[in-house]
């Protein structure tokens, strides 16, 4: 496994960057298989994810025909409490059960059936009329004519859905539940304000155990700005500026919410770490697309997806400035896009951009986040010359860069 750099890149530039290899997108794939008499600890059946668990009894203390000898005394005293179990309390003061009750009605299970099998994942309701956000890899089967349905939390009935827009390069998609109305919706939080150590909760259709009864896990933000290469065995995609979390994320969680302590969506669960090149298994490492990135893509997704065209290219790997970064490295400003890498032979290198520069303005556009740089470049053409204003330590530096052509 190639590990991402401590300060990793952003979707503005993807070429020639180290990335973390991820064994699989967390979406259970259930192919149609012939009948078999073979047994195992885990068995998946066609058109459904069911787990068969075999319990193994270990006999300890001899090979006699009984487990233990009783004393013959029939008197048994058991202490019992009438107190109700208490929910885990988040830093906001909200308990996890209360958070789940508030948010889970806005979470749906997604099922896409194709001639080759079945893919399952999770989605979040964005609009009361049935608009649902999920990962592109969850619903990619719909592009090939697959049948797509969703099941709302607390329901056992599946509802038909259609594809609205898909952006495979950013692994984001929108679908719509047919003839839906008055549905509860999620609320986006401020992913740009996250700090390592913040509490998070993940909700999703883990392992496709039972549609409509999502799994809930808790953890923290383990790292920010990660770069990973995710794969489902047939295709792969490099994703940047991701949130890393130790909240358990499993196949089926893809497209589900990563929530802050107030129950707001600060990310969409997308990938889990698999094994390293030496065979070592990764533990408790999952990744989510920040909500700020998702919000910047929604307008194009509503039109059916992004227009596939090359655009202006600066040639930097960047991440959004955070209070933690400012404090750790003593940066002069509390906003902007921090340059983690300047790629060789690019416009940024020729212009004199340096690692640890903080981009705060390009032409007349103020830059407060890494997404601002991506959005600016998406509207520019190769050959255009732009003015890039950066903070280098405490000095404000103005540079001129002639943009190259994006590798995407």
Q: Residue 315: phi, psi to the nearest 5? A: 100, 40
Pair (281, 339) in one structural domain: no
**Distance between CA 299 and CA 13 in Å, rounded?**
21
339 shares a domain with 320: yes
For residue range 167-217, list pLDDT tens digits in order: 988 899 999 999 999 999 999 999 988 999 999 999 988 776 667 778 899
Of residues 13, 111, 171, 260, which has the active-site annotation?
171
Any catalytic annotation for residue 171?
yes
CB 203 within 8 A of CB 104: yes
**What is the domain-level CATH number for residue 152?**
2.40.10.10
Per-residue pLDDT tens for 250-270? 888 899 999 999 999 999 999
Residues 380 and 282 in one domain: no
Burial (CB count within 10 angstroms: exposed 0-12, middle 13-18, buried 19+), residue 298: middle
In this prediction the pTM is 0.66
Decide if 137 is catalytic. yes
Stretch 94-102: mean pLDDT: 92
Between CA 128 and CA 183 the distance in angstroms is 4
- Residue 29: the pLDDT is 46
Same domain, 281 and 193: yes
Same domain for 270 and 362? no
Q: What is the pLDDT of the chain when averaged over all its residues? A: 78
Residue ending a domain, choose from 302, 321, 339? 302
Query: How many residues are recorded in the chain?
Result: 408
3-state secondary structure of 51: coil
Of 63-72, 263-272, 336-345, which one has max mean pLDDT? 263-272
Q: Helix axis angle, 370-378 relative to 291-302, nearest 10°?
A: 20
pLDDT score, position 401: 95
How many Cα atoms within 13 Å fall on the side-chain side of residue 145? 2
Which domain, by its residues, includes 384?
Answer: 312-405
Number of domains in the chain: 3
Residue 35 lies in a domain: no
What is the Cα gyration radius of the chain? 24
Q: What is the pLDDT of residue 154?
A: 84
DSSP element (H, E) containing 7: none
Identify whether 7 is a catalytic site residue: no
Give the dihedral sign, CA 32/48/234/161: positive
Residue 341 covered by a domain: yes
Q: What is the CATH number of the domain that holds 388?
A: 2.30.42.10
- Whether residues 195 and 213 share a domain: the answer is yes
Average pLDDT of 10-27? Answer: 47
Q: Say whether pLDDT at 233 is over 60.
A: no
Q: Is 226 exposed, middle or buried (0-12, 13-18, 19+ CB in 10 A)?
A: buried
User: Is 307 part of a structural domain of the chain?
Assistant: no
Say whether both 335 and 371 belong to one domain: yes
The structure tokens 């069911």 sit at 50
Tell me which of 193 and 374 has the higher pLDDT: 193
Tokens matching residue 66: 């009984």
172 and 263 in one domain? no
Q: Look at residue 230 in the predicted model and tell me its pLDDT.
A: 65
Q: Considering 9, 104, 191, 254, which one is annotated as catalytic?
A: 254
Give the mean pLDDT of 147-161. Answer: 89
**Residue 57 in domain:** no
Is there a contact between 156 and 149 (Cβ–Cβ < 8 Å)? no
In 3D space, the residue among 251, 113, 133, 151 whose CA is nearest the CA of residue 188 turns out to be: 133
User: Active-site residue among 13, 104, 109, 137?
Assistant: 137
Structure tokens at 306: 């992004």
Residue 170 CB neighbours (<10 A): 24
Q: Is residue 354 part of a domain?
A: yes
CA angle 405/136/97 to nearest 5° reads: 130
**345 in the same domain as 258:** no
Strands 20-22 and 215-231, by their bridges, are: parallel
Average pLDDT over residues 76-80: 78
Counts for the chain of helices (H) and strands (E), in that order: 6, 22
């Amino acid at each position: 496994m190639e590990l991402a750099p401590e300060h990793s890149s952003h979707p503005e530039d993807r070429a020639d960057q180290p990335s973390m290899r991820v064994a699989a997108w967390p979406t259970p794939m259930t192919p149609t298989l012939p009948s078999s008499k073979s047994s195992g600890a885990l068995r998946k059946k066609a058109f459904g994810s069911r787990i068969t668990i075999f319990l193994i009894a270990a006999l300890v203390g001899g090979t006699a025909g009984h487990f233990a000898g009783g004393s013959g005394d029939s008197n048994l005293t058991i202490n019992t409490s009438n107190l109700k179990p208490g929910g885990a309390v988040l830093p906001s003061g909200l308990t996890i059960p209360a958070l789940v009750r508030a948010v889970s009605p806005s979470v749906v299970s997604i099922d896409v059936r194709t001639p080759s099998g079945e893919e399952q994942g999770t989605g979040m309701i964005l609009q009361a009329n049935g608009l649902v956000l999920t990962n592109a890899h969850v619903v990619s089967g719909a592009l090939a004519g697959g049948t797509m349905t969703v099941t709302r939390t607390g329901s056992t009935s599946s509802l038909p859905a259609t594809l609205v827009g898909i952006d495979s390069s950013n692994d984001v998609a929108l679908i719509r539940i047919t003839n839906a109305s008055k549905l509860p919706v999620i609320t986006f939080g401020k992913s740009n304000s996250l700090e390592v150590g913040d509490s998070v909760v993940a909700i999703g259709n883990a392992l496709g155990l039972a549609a409509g009864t999502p799994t809930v896990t808790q953890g923290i933000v383990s790292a920010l700005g990660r770069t990973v290469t995710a794969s489902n065995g047939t295709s792969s995609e490099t994703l940047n500026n991701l949130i890393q979390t130790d909240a358990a994320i499993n196949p089926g969680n893809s497209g589900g919410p990563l929530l802050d302590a107030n129950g707001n969506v600060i990310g969409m669960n997308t990938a889990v770490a698999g094994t390293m090149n030496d065979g070592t298994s990764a533990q408790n490492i999952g990744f989510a697309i920040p909500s700020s990135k998702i919000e910047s893509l929604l307008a194009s997704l509503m039109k059916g997806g992004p227009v596939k065209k090359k655009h202006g290219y600066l040639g930097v790997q960047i991440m959004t400035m955070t209070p933690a970064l400012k404090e750790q490295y003593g940066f002069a400003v509390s906003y902007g896009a921090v340059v983690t890498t300047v790629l060789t032979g690019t416009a940024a290198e020729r212009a004199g951009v340096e690692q640890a520069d903080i981009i705060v303005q390009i032409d007349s556009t103020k830059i407060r986040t890494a997404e601002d740089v991506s959005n600016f470049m998406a509207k520019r053409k190769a050959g255009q010359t732009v003015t890039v204003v950066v903070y280098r330590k405490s000095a404000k530096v103005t540079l001129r860069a002639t943009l190259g052509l994006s590798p995407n």
